Chains A and B, each alone.
Chain A
Amino acid sequence: MTTSKILINILVMAGVTYLIRMLPMVIFRQKIENRFVQSFLFYIPYAVLGAMTFPGIFTSTSSLWSAITGTVVAVILSFREKGLLTVALAACFTVYVTEAVLRLML
């Protein structure tokens, strides 16, 4: 991963993200009335985040078991509507503890 490769990627990221925000504000003056398009855009973030999370989360730590315990804790806390940071840190803590326990057992 060279610095120039990283910079090109950042340029693409920033450019695409800016164009998405800028073009409608500059070009369009009317609201989208199309129900299908509005519904599609409504569902997009959930579908994206779902596909990014699963199954990726199961290989995000050094062992499958710590990933599973972390996932379970994250899902339970999210179900109780805890904040983003709380859920993320609790998942990390669970992974840390699980891996420590696994090391003791082996």
Chain B
Amino acid sequence: MKQSKSLNGNSNNSNNYNHNCNYSHSINSYAKGFKDGIPIGLGYLSVSVAFGMMAVNMGLPVWTAVLISMTNLTSAGQFAGIGLISVGASCLEMALTQLVINLRYALMSLSLSQKADQSINLLHRLLISFGITDEIFAVASGQPCEIGRRYMYGLITTPYFGWAIGTFIGAAASTILPATIRSALGIAIYGMFIAIIIPPAKQHRPVLKVLLISVAISFILRYTPLLNHLSGGFIIILCAIIASALGAKLFPLKEVE
């Protein structure tokens, strides 16, 4: 799930708050939401096929891969999750890794909470918040006015099922693939990570610097005697927190309102 989109969505959202929308202009049509969600769903289909293959490749049963997709609905978090499951990480490592990787959703959730109209009461907040992803957030926050619950449910529908169905297709297909191809698929997850991080790093110098700091710390922790006894999960958390804190300190965002 591309970060650049969510960032655009974030700034769009901020801009929208500068407009004075009438309450009557709240968007609350299931059909419109459904239509807006179709491109997201198609995009998810392809990524989730890779996730399903990856999961089965790492030794997970097909049905658990689908269960993960239906209960998590997140790309990087799920990929890291199956990585941790396959190396037998502890529940604490799993919880901390998910917290660090998915922390950005908290900001999106916070932002959407202010864009939600009165039709989204506590119960609907509990349900709709489950479907906040980078792309769903980007599209929702790109709407000119407040948004209603029917629009949000429509928007979440196709991406949710696209994600689950794609996972099943990938997981089922993986079991019939020859060993040489399954070996080649080992790099798929990393290829996707590179595709996510390189374009923004190319455009924004500070992102590149934070990325390099994190990678450098990762190498140091993994190959330094004693320190390399740390588990993979904790190394990722340490790298992310140190590099991001340095980035926030040295290159704070300018377009903050």
Q: Which of B31-39, B57-65, B141-149, B157-165 contacts A (4 or more CB under 8 A)?
A: B57-65
Contact between chains at A84 and B253 (CB < 8 Å) = no
Partner of A36, one of B7, B73, B249: B249
Contact between chains at B95 and A12 (CB < 8 Å) = yes
**Docked complex: B197-237 residues within 8 A CB-CB of A:** 197-202, 206-207, 210-215, 217-219, 222-223, 232, 235-236
Tell me whether A46 and B207 are in contact in the complex, defined as CB-CB below 8 angstroms, given that A7-B64, A20-B106 are known contacts. yes
Contact between chains at B198 and A78 (CB < 8 Å) = yes
Contact between chains at B113 and A29 (CB < 8 Å) = yes
Bound-state CA distance A14–B68 (Å) is: 8
**Docked complex: B76-112 residues within 8 A CB-CB of A:** 76-81, 83-86, 88-89, 91, 94-95, 98-112
State how many angstroms separate the Cβ of A87 from the closest Cβ of chain B.
4
**Docked complex: A85-103 residues within 8 A CB-CB of B:** 85-93, 95-96, 99-100
Interface residue B29 (Cβ < 8 Å from any Cβ of A): no
Chain B residues, Cβ within 8 Å of A14: 68, 71-72
Partner of A43, one of B109, B125, B210, B219: B210
Partner of A39, one of B88, B212, B247: B247
Closest to B79 in A: A52
Interface residues on A, range: 35 or more
Bound-state CA distance A85–B199 (Å) is: 14
Interface residue B20 (Cβ < 8 Å from any Cβ of A): no
Contact between chains at B253 and A87 (CB < 8 Å) = no
Contact between chains at B77 and A25 (CB < 8 Å) = no
Interface residue A106 (Cβ < 8 Å from any Cβ of B): no
Contact between chains at A20 and B103 (CB < 8 Å) = yes
Contact between chains at B219 and A60 (CB < 8 Å) = no
Partner of A22, one of B86, B130, B207: B130
Interface residue B16 (Cβ < 8 Å from any Cβ of A): no
State how many angstroms separate the Cβ of B83 from the closest Cβ of chain A.
8
Interface residue A51 (Cβ < 8 Å from any Cβ of B): yes
**Docked complex: A35-78 residues within 8 A CB-CB of B:** 35-57, 60-62, 66-67, 70-71, 74-75, 77-78
Interface residue A26 (Cβ < 8 Å from any Cβ of B): yes
State how many angstroms separate the Cβ of A88 from the closest Cβ of chain B.
4
Bound-state CA distance A19–B210 (Å) is: 27
Bound-state CA distance A50–B216 (Å) is: 9
Chain B residues, Cβ within 8 Å of A26: 113, 122, 125-126, 129
State how many angstroms separate the Cβ of A64 from the closest Cβ of chain B.
12
**Pairs A–B under 8 Å by Cβ, sample size 12:** A9-B94, A12-B95, A14-B68, A16-B94, A25-B110, A25-B129, A47-B239, A47-B243, A49-B193, A51-B243, A88-B189, A89-B188
Q: Which residues of A contact B (CB under 8 A)?
A: 1, 3, 5-10, 12-14, 16-18, 20-26, 28-32, 35-57, 60-62, 66-67, 70-71, 74-75, 77-79, 81-93, 95-96, 99-100
